[in-house]
Amino acid sequence: MVRILFITATRVGDAVLSTGVLATLLQQYPKARLTIACGESAAGLFYNVPQLERLIIMTKRRYDLHWFDLWKQCVSYRWDITVDLRGSPITWLLLAHKRYIKHGGRRPGHRIHHLAQIFPFSPTPLPTVWLNEDEQKHAATLIPEKQKRQKIIAFGPTANWQGKIWPIERYPLLWEHLYAAYPNAIPALFYGPGKQEALLARPVLAALPQIIDAGGRFTLTQTAAMLARCCLYIGNDSGLMHLAAATGIPTLGLFGPSRPSEYAPTGPLSTWVAAKGIEGETTMTDISVEYVAEAALTLLRKAKRYPTDNF
C-alpha cells in the first residue's frame, strides 16, 4: 500500500488551490495511506479527504522549529511519495522513494499551474472540496431549496488585509442592480470567524435585512456546502473566493493590489474584474459598482448557457 505525505499551505486560499493536485494523486493511488500537514486555519478543508490516515496541524514556532516538529512526527515512517508545496528541506530528511517539491520564489503564471508542473499533471487539475452528507444536510437548513427561477447570490466582502477589500458600502448598491435583473433572487453573506470579519459584515447585514447570514460560525466544509447551493459568488481575493470556485459555482473575484494572473478564482465558471491600470498596483476603490454588476450579470447569463445543478 502506498504511503503519501502531503505538505500544503497555512492559509486557506493557498490550501484550496492545492486540492486539485491532491485529488489527482488520490485518483492515481486509490488505496494510498495519506498524511496531510497544513496550518490550523486550513485544516478543516481536509477532514473529509478519502484515504486520510492522519492530519498534522502545523503551528508556527520561532526559528522555524515547526519544521522540526513535523520532521519528528514523520521520520519514523518510510514514505513512498512525499509532496512538499512549501519548499522546505524536510522531505530530504525523510526516507522517501519519490519526492515532489515546489520551490519558492515568485514566477509568472497562476499558482495552480505551478503546483501541477512539479508532478507534472496535464491538464492542470482544478481545485475541489470534499463534503460529507451531514454538511450538505446542514447547508440545506440555512440556504433554502432552489425554487423555480429563484437564485441565491453570495457576497464575500472580507479579506485578510484592508487593501484587498472592495468598499463595503458598495455591496447594497450592487444588490440593487442584481435584484433589478433577478427580482426573485436572495442575497447571502459569507465571512469568516472573528471580530474583524464580523465588523466588516455588519453594514451589509444592516443594509439588506432580507440577506441570509451565512458567516462567522461555520466550519470550512459547512461553508463550502452552503456555497455549493448558491448560483453566484462575488467577493474579494480571499480564501472564501477560492473555496467558492472549488465548489464549481460561478465565481466573480474582485482584484486590486493582488494579481489575478496568479490568484484568479479557478473553477469551471469563474472570472474576475480589476480596475484599469498596472496589474497588482490598482486600488479596490477604482472598481465601480456598475462594472461589477455588468460582470456578474454576464457570468449569470453564461452560467445559464452552461448550467450547473444551481440552474
Answer yes or no: do 264 and 214 share one domain: yes
At 152-183, the pLDDT tens digits run 999 999 998 999 999 999 999 999 999 999 99
Residues 63 and 33 in one domain: yes
What is the model's pLDDT at position 108? 84
Which tens digit of pLDDT belongs to each residue from 234-276? 999 999 999 999 999 999 999 999 999 999 999 999 999 998 8
Mean pLDDT calculated for residue range 109-128: 95
Assess whether 110 and 213 both reside in one domain. Answer: no
Residue 309's pLDDT is what?
A: 56
* Strand runs labelled E in 177-220: 186-189, 212-213
Alpha-carbon separation of residue 175 from 158, 230, 262 (angstroms): 17, 15, 28
d(CA 96, CA 79): 5
Calculate mean pLDDT across residues 78-106. 93
Question: Residue 62: pLDDT above 70?
Answer: yes
pLDDT at 147 over 80: no
Is the bond preceding 120 in cis, omega lying within 30 degrees of 0? yes
Does the residue 196 lie in any domain? yes
Asked whether residue 311 is domain-assigned, the answer is no
Q: 117, 146, 162: which is the final residue of a domain?
A: 117
pLDDT, position 307: 56
Share of the chain above pLDDT 90, in %: 88
Is the domain of 34 the same as that of 156?
no
Mean pLDDT for the chain overall: 94
Judge whether 225 lies within some domain: yes
Q: Which domain holds residue 85?
A: 3-117
* Pair 67, 174 in one domain: no
